[in-house]
């Protein structure tokens, strides 16, 4: 690559090292003080300030061997975020790192910090960082100091490094602007449907009725987890629907659990039927709501999901599903779920007493459902277009990084000079 040299990181850095979590963990963090950088803050090419921890001077003194300096490169070395990498922003200093983050301090005479940050997130080097040398193809669970010291990269002169960084900075700035605009358009598309949903259910008109759910349902109830928990689940059998499967107006098949006939018999009071409305009633996903899909029946629910079976002569299940996922009713359900003293939960009695408004005419309910389904379908098509564009922008970034570190970005200028 036009005279690029290859060196181990230990030969082009003046420091490689990680820190520790202060005694007491999260409880010892302060509202202000010296930054403690954790893996959640380090993303590829980006530093996330969300949940940036703070420690006091005494705690910082105990981490005096991992004082972060300007232009240090931060690399995650454990867990799901292993090998994520960015240059530390000056705004975070003074700072320390915990045991999940390593400081790589480039020798400024040999390697530019932004160049090193870029090269480590490029596809070819990212793959090398992630892949264990002991087991071909296996993903590392941790990067040791020795592995980092012996990790090799190829690089040109400082002058050419800075030239490459300038090109990448400009290209990524353009990509980031395009991404921000695409994300804004995606957000607007989502909000368009939610706004219409709010309009429908936020103001009931003439010919609408208001009832408590207990008056218009034949069943409201949740189940239980079979004895033995996850270890008791089967590879096939009767579906056991859990809160992780229930999202607003959609059912997620991923991680759908299965139980055998004996286990299902013990949950015979929560047999799921076609068009049952499923409502999450505990935890972080409380108030998520979807229709039970026919393709996953027979099924039962566990204790975190409630079955709401409406009298279809009075209220259509799809109409209730749209209602409960509208902001107007969702806010009310979340208010109930957050009223508990120890956790988010909605009780059976609270569901029974919950009031909803709906057109008395089933034909009018059907027309609303058709209108909402049509609009939702159009919005999903638009969302798909924007999501594909976001994916394309991510792939473009990877492609540019790949070109940069096989010498392609500066190849033309080198050939011209020759």
Q: Report pLDDT digits (tens) over 56-79.
A: 999 999 999 999 999 999 999 998
pLDDT confidence of 1, banded at 50, 70, 90? low
Q: How many CB atoms lie within 10 A of CB 25?
A: 8
pLDDT at 91 over 90: yes
Give 248's contacts (C-beta < 8 A, 6+ positions apart).
288, 289, 290, 325, 330
Say which CATH superfamily domain 209-360 falls into.
DNA methylase specificity domains (3.90.220.20)
Average pLDDT estimate for 246-275: 91
Rounded Cα gap, residues 2 and 155, in angstroms: 10
Q: Is 219 helix (H, G, I), strand (E, B) or coil?
A: strand
Q: Any idea which architecture 156-207+361-418 has in CATH?
A: Orthogonal Bundle (1.10)
User: Same topology for domains 5-155 and 156-207+361-418, yes or no?
Assistant: no
As a whole-number percent, the residues of the chain with pLDDT over 90 amount to: 63
Q: For residue 203, what is the DSSP state?
A: S
pLDDT at 407 over 70: no
Return the pLDDT at 203: 72
pLDDT confidence of 206, banded at 50, 70, 90? confident
pLDDT at 13 over 80: yes
Task: Say if residues 323 and 194 touch (Cβ distance below 8 Å).
Answer: no
141-150, 319-328, 330-339: the lowest-pLDDT one: 330-339
Query: What is the distance, to the nearest Å, from the Cα of residue 313 to the centroid of all Cα atoms in its chain?
Result: 40
Helix%, strand%, coil% for the chain, nearest 5: 45, 20, 35
Which of 1.10.150.120, 3.50.50.60, 3.30.930.10, 3.90.220.20 is the CATH number of 5-155?
3.90.220.20
């Amino acid at each position: 690559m036009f005279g690029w040299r290859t060196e181990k990181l230990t030969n082009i850095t003046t420091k490689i090292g990680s820190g520790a979590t202060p005694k007491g963990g999260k409880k010892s963090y302060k509202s202000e003080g010296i930054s403690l950088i954790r893996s959640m803050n380090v993303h590829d090419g980006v530093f996330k300030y969300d949940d940036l921890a703070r420690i006091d001077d005494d705690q910082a003194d105990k981490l005096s061997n991992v004082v972060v300096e300007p232009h240090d490169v931060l690399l995650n070395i454990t867990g799901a975020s292993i090998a994520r990498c960015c240059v530390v922003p000056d705004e975070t200093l003074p700072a320390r790192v915990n045991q999940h983050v390593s400081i790589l301090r480039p020798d400024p005479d040999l390697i530019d910090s932004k160049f090193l940050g870029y090269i480590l997130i490029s596809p070819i080097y990212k793959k090398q960082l992630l892949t264990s040398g002991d087991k071909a193809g296996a993903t590392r669970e941790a990067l040791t100091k020795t592995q980092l010291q012996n990790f090799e990269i190829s690089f040109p002169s400082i002058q050419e490094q800075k030239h490459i960084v300038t090109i990448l900075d400009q290209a990524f700035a353009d990509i980031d602007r395009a991404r921000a605009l695409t994300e804004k358009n995606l957000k607007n598309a989502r909000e368009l449907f939610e706004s219409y949903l709010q309009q429908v259910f936020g103001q009931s008109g003439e010919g609408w009725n208001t009832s408590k759910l207990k008056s218009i349902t034949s069943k409201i109830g949740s189940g239980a987890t079979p004895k033995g928990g996850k270890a008791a689940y089967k590879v096939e059998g009767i579906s056991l629907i859990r809160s992780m499967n229930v999202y607003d107006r959609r059912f997620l098949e991923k991680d759908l659990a299965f139980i055998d006939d004996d286990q299902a018999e013990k949950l015979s009071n929560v047999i799921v039927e076609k068009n049952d409305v499923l409502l999450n009633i505990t935890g972080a996903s409380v108030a998520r709501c979807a229709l039970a899909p026919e393709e996953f029946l027979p099924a039962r629910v566990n204790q975190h999901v409630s079955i709401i079976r409406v009298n279809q002569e009075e209220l259509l299940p799809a109409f209730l599903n749209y209602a409960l996922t509208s902001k107007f009713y969702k806010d009310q359900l979340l208010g109930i779920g957050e009223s508990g003293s120890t956790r988010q939960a909605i009780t059976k009695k609270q569901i029974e007493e919950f009031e909803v408004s709906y057109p008395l005419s089933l034909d009018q309910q059907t027309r609303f459902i058709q209108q909402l389904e049509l609009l939702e379908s159009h919005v999903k098509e638009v969302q798909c277009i924007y999501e594909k564009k976001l994916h394309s922008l991510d792939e473009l970034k990877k492609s540019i990084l790949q070109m940069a570190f096989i010498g392609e970005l500066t190849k033309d200028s080198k050939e011209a000079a020759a």
